[in-house]
A and B are shown apart, each in its own frame.
Chain A
Amino acid sequence: MASDGSVKVKIPTVFRRFTGNEAEIDLAPGTIGQLIDQLDERYPGFKGQIMNDEGELHRFVNVYVNDEDARYLEKLETQANEGDRVALLPSVAGG
């Protein structure tokens, strides 16, 4: 696990055009909501890409903390601590 005090956030290819092609971004620990705010500060408009006007995650976007879907944890209140891995991914179906 990283010990530089940061949370690693993985950005999928579809969103990299909003992050200057950055695939992994180090942010300060916080809730998922706070992490998204940090991303939006760094890359203005980012939030609007993954959230709807009500401030909820777009239904086709999944956010994972250490591989667990935050929708089934505390949603945007889910805490990501130092060394945790956060990933944003679009939903896909199988079958």
Chain B
Amino acid sequence: MKYKSILDLIGHTPLVEVRSLSPADNVRMWVKLEGQNPTGSVKDRIALALIEDGEATGALTKDKTILEPTSGNTGIAIAMVAKLKGYRFTAVMPDNASHERVSLLHAYGADIIYSPGAEGTNGSVAMATELAKDKGYYMPFQYGNEANVRAHYEGTGPEILEDLPDVKAFVAGLGTGGTLTGVGRRLKEHDPNIKVFAAEPELGELVYGLRSLEDGYIPPIFDPTVLDGKVKVKARESIVWTKALMQKEGIFAGISAGATIWVAQRVAERLAKDGGGDVVCLLPDGGWKYLSTEAWTQELDVAEEQVEDVLWW
């Protein structure tokens, strides 16, 4: 197959059945492998959408440096798109993002400004918002930019419906809420009975520890009305199911994928009693960027500690 640019490879990701992970005979579980995108995560979709939106509105011009708060994946994706389109890029990222994320950002030529790890991504949002007052920056702002939602409403959602028009439930991780809001909206327009569930990380005590409630943050683009439920998942459960994906199905996915699988199984158990059908789970990235946590190779207790030390969402 021939392509004119790596940007043409964004989206149209494969949907693979994971038979051994289904808890019931009448439920078929499918995973959408977003790790197959060019920089290895679902965020390639929104990086392209955000930058092209900035170009279309005229807010992003060649003299500006793109600035974006990110836990990693969005930064890596924007770094790639920015490089190809000729923009400078600075990521604002918590200082406990995994080494691989930092290395990848540097490899794509991005600059990094670190925010305190204990404040998580919320800290990066606050810091970037302050920095963006400088007119030399253009901040696409994935948390508040409808182009994030649109990338999923026009891309990810229709792709799922094309492959599985009778899909009964959709499960994805909740970060900015872009995936769930965009895909959820599209699926419910197609069939209001489709159930949409969020998997949410339960981060280490460290992340919740030092902040006050005023530091809480709900991304403006996230529309909670598309959700039928939201389930929190610990690092430990996420690791167990990320490993199961590899050991039972040969799928090498990131840690948040395991959280999504765990929630999808709860959803599948309910669906099984309600006539069964197809469940789609979106796996945001591949496992590469998490190898340093030793999630696949260490004993569970050690892996859990090492995953809790890095930002895995």
Listed in ascending order, the chain A residues whose CB lies under 8 Å from chain B are 12-14, 49, 58-62, 64, 67-69, 71-73, 87, 89-95
A94 to B202, CA, bound (A): 11
Q: Which residues of B contact A72 (CB under 8 A)?
A: 224, 227-230
**Cβ-defined partner of A69 (8 Å) among B178, B212, B232:** B232
Q: Is the CB of B231 within 8 A of A93?
A: no
Nearest-neighbour CB distance to chain B for A39, whole angstroms, equals 16
- B132 close to chain A: CB less than 8 A: no
Residue of A nearest to B208 (CB): A12
Minimum Cβ distance to chain B for residue A58 (Å) = 7
Q: Which residues from chain A contact B207 at a C-beta distance below 8 Å?
A: 92
A-B contact count (CB 8 A): 96
Q: Given A13-B205, A67-B232, A69-B229, does the pair A90, B211 have CB atoms closer than 8 Å?
A: yes
Q: Is B22 part of the binding interface, using a Cβ–Cβ cutoff of 8 Å?
A: no
Q: Give chain B interface residues in 223-261, CB to chain A under 8 Å.
A: 224, 227-233, 256
B142 nearest in chain A by CB position: A95
Bound Cα distance from A34 to B279, whole angstroms: 36
A95-B71, A95-B175 known; A68-B211 Cβ under 8 A: no
- The one of A49, A58, A89, A93 in contact with B232, judged by C-beta atoms closer than 8 angstroms, is A89
Contacts of B212 in A (CB 8 A): 14
Closest B residue by C-beta to A23: B205
What B residues does A14 contact at CB under 8 A?
A: 208-209, 211-213
CB atoms of B230 and A69 under 8 A apart: yes
| Cα A59 to Cα B174 with chains together (Å) | 16
Interface of A is mostly: mixed
Across the interface, B216 reaches (CB within 8 A) one of A13, A61, A73, A94, namely A61
Asked if A94 contacts B71 (CB within 8 A), the reply is yes
- Shortest distance between the CB of A10 and any CB in chain B (Å): 10
Apart from A13-B209, A94-B201, what are 18 other A-B pairs with CB-CB below 8 Å?
Answer: A14-B212, A58-B213, A58-B216, A60-B216, A67-B232, A68-B231, A69-B232, A71-B224, A71-B230, A91-B218, A92-B121, A93-B217, A94-B173, A94-B256, A94-B313, A95-B69, A95-B74, A95-B313
Docked pose: A87 CA to B208 CA in angstroms: 13
A63 to B214, CA, bound (A): 17
Q: Which residues of A sit under 8 angstroms from B256, Cβ to Cβ? A: 94
Instruction: Give complex CA distance A71, B224 in Å.
Output: 10
What's the minimum C-beta distance from A79 to chain B, rounded to whole angstroms?
A: 16
For this complex, 27 residue pairs linking A to B, each with C-beta atoms less than 8 Å apart, are A12-B208, A13-B210, A14-B211, A60-B218, A61-B216, A62-B232, A67-B231, A67-B233, A68-B229, A68-B230, A68-B231, A69-B229, A69-B232, A71-B224, A71-B230, A72-B224, A87-B232, A90-B208, A92-B201, A93-B143, A93-B175, A93-B217, A94-B256, A95-B121, A95-B143, A95-B175, A95-B313
Assess whether A93 is in contact with B176, with CB atoms less than 8 Å apart. yes
**Residue-by-residue, is B61-76 near A (CB-CB < 8 Å gives 1, otherwise 0)?**
0000000011101100
CB pair A92–B228 under 8 Å, yes or no, is no
Which residues of B in the span 158-184 have a Cβ within 8 Å of any Cβ on A? 173-176, 178
Q: Does B116 contact A (CB under 8 A)?
A: no
Contact indicator A69/B231 (Cβ below 8 Å): yes
Q: Which of B267-313 contact A (CB under 8 A)?
A: 313
Bound: A72/B196 CA distance, A: 11
- Provide the residues of chain A in CB contact with B121, threshold 8 Å: 92-95
